[in-house]
Amino acid sequence: MLDTHVLLHLANASILTGIMLSAMTRWGFFRYWWVLTKFAITMSQLYAAIFLLSPRLTALAEGVHGSDPALLVATVLMASAIAFQAWLSVAKPWKRTPWAEARLDVPLPPRWVIRLTMLAPVLDLLLAEAVFGHAAPLFTTLTAIGYPIWRGIRLAGHAGG
């Protein structure tokens, strides 16, 4: 229950906030190695949880398997990865990537974008529970894809005009 009704939605919200913080701040997606590293770790954790941990947790909950030492190892690895990501966020240890733009003055996003970023996971949870019966990160996906496109069009319009 915890895995499918709580953790799944929290994972989607975590990814959305990470993507949107990259999109809305001077750190960007590809400007710094530490941001790319955090993104790679997050995606690895997400897929490991979906394809490796979730089936084992389900089997354990249903009594199909007894205690599984792999679950303990996976839990320690996941917690260590989260701790490492927190350290990366504070220390920001590595330099900029070769793809980094020289410009670091990223305009602040409008308030409606920040509100939508906070509201999208809640809407997805309500949609999943009320309509689909399973996770459906529709608003999260639209927000994560839509904002960078909207921002790029807006910045191109300001540069051309």
Q: Where are the domains of the chain?
A: 26-103
pLDDT tens digits along 100-137: 766 666 677 888 888 888 888 888 888 877 777 767 77
Q: Give dist(CA 49, CA 52) in Å, integer.
A: 6
- Band of residue 4 on the pLDDT scale cut at 50, 70, 90: low
Count CB-CB contacts under 10 A for residue 58.
Answer: 13
CA atoms within 13 A on the CB side of 133: 0
pTM over 0.85: no
Cα separation, 27 vs 36, in Å, equals 10
3-state SS class at 82: helix
Output the average pLDDT for the chain: 79
Q: Quick one: pLDDT band at residue 14, thresholds 50, 70, 90?
A: confident
pLDDT digits (tens, 9 = 90+) for 54-82: 777 777 777 777 677 777 888 888 889 88
Distance, first Cα to last Cα, the chain: 53
Q: Which of 34 and 5 is assigned the larger pLDDT?
A: 34
pLDDT-based confidence at residue 1 (cuts at 50, 70, 90): low
Model pLDDT, residue 104 = 62
**Confidence class for position 37, pLDDT limits 50, 70, 90:** very high
